[in-house]
């Protein structure tokens, strides 16, 4: 995007072509920050305590919470993919532990939802996710509702093509983001001490 034609490997460039072309990623992840800043339903799994929505209060209705419009149910803002390789887990509630699984979700949202394995999530410690937190994923009716809202049609990509997209996504990492200690200010307006 800065015009440097040599900054990416052949595989990553193939991934970029897929991202912009057959993968249709850029219909939503568009522009310099790979986001249209809009809200879309892509049937992302729902785990964790939710936001108090639904029969048992463990759903998150997403954009509908703000607009009160039922047609916005399960829509979430397209996230920027800048530095995405550094920010696992993925999805609004961290449902997918790695880039491959969240990309595969996009290729077949309904299928991915049905075969979703909450035990594979990456949580701070193994006790962080209780069986209640995976309850939404046990409810077949709700899964059907989530899947039916998805705006994404199935896309068929080979394993090699998925790995090319992953290579491309790694190119969105700014090496300067690996260590942000330099951003710590020398002092803050409150005058309170800054810890190391
Ligand atoms: C219909 C719009 C749409 C399309 C097309 C789309 N995405 Fe997404 N993507 C989203 C939305 C919305 C989310 C966040 C959903 C959520 O959290 O519930 C997301 C999440 C992601 C994430 C997780 C980011 C994070 O920080 O959690 C990745 C990675 C991603 N998309 C990559 C892709 C790739 C690669 C493609 C193409 C194969 C693609 N997307 C196609 C809308 C889209």
CATH number, domain with residue 154: 1.10.760.10
Alpha helices in the chain (DSSP H): 10-20, 64-67, 99-107, 109-114, 140-148, 159-170
- Residue 152 φ then ψ, to 5°: -100, 130
Q: Is residue 92 part of a domain?
A: yes
Residues with CB under 6 A from ligand 1: 23-25, 27-29, 40, 42, 44, 76, 78-79, 81, 84, 87, 90-92, 99, 102-103, 106, 151-152, 165
Rounded to whole angstroms, how far apart are CA atoms 114 and 126? 23
Q: Is residue 182 part of a domain?
A: no
- Strands 39-41 and 75-77, how do they pair? antiparallel
Query: Residue 61 belongs to what domain range?
Result: 10-176
Rounded to whole angstroms, how far apart are CA atoms 64 and 71? 7
> Which pTM was predicted?
0.92
Supply the pLDDT for residue 1: 74
Q: Is residue 192 part of a domain?
A: no
Q: 41: CA distance to ligand 1 center in Å?
A: 10
Least confident of 11-15, 35-39, 134-138: 134-138
Whether the Cβ atoms of residue 50 and residue 60 lie closer than 8 Å to each other = yes
Rounded to whole angstroms, how far apart are CA atoms 196 and 193? 10
Q: Is residue 188 part of a domain?
A: no
| Average pLDDT of the chain to the nearest whole number | 91
Q: Is residue 189 part of a domain?
A: no
How many structural domains does the chain have? 1
Among protein residues, the one whose CA lies closest to atom 2 of ligand 1? 28
Q: Flag whether pLDDT at 196 surpasses 70.
A: no
Q: Is residue 184 part of a domain?
A: no
pLDDT in tens, 64-122: 999 999 999 999 999 999 999 999 999 999 999 999 999 999 999 999 998 998 888 87
Q: Is residue 28 part of a domain?
A: yes
């Amino acid at each position: 995007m800065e015009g440097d034609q040599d900054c990416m490997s052949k595989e990553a460039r193939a991934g970029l072509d897929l991202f912009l072309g057959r993968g249709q990623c850029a219909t939503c992840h568009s522009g310099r920050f790979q986001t249209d800043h809009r809200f879309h339903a892509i049937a992302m799994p729902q785990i964790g305590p939710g936001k108090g929505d639904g029969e048992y209060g463990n759903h998150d209705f997403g954009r509908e919470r703000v607009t009160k419009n039922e047609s916005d149910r399960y829509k979430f803002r397209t996230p920027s993919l800048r530095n995405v390789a550094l920010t696992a887990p993925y999805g609004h509630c961290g449902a997918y532990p790695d880039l491959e699984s969240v990309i595969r979700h996009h290729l077949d949202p309904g299928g991915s939802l049905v075969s979703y394995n909450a035990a594979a999530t990456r949580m701070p410690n193994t006790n962080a996710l209780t069986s209640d937190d995976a309850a939404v994923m046990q409810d077949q009716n709700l899964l059907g509702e989530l899947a039916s809202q998805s705006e994404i049609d199935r896309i068929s990509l080979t394993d090699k093509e998925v790995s090319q997209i992953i290579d491309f996504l790694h190119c969105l990492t700014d090496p300067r983001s690996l260590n942000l200690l330099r951003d710590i200010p020398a002092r803050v307006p409150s005058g309170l001490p800054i810890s190391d």
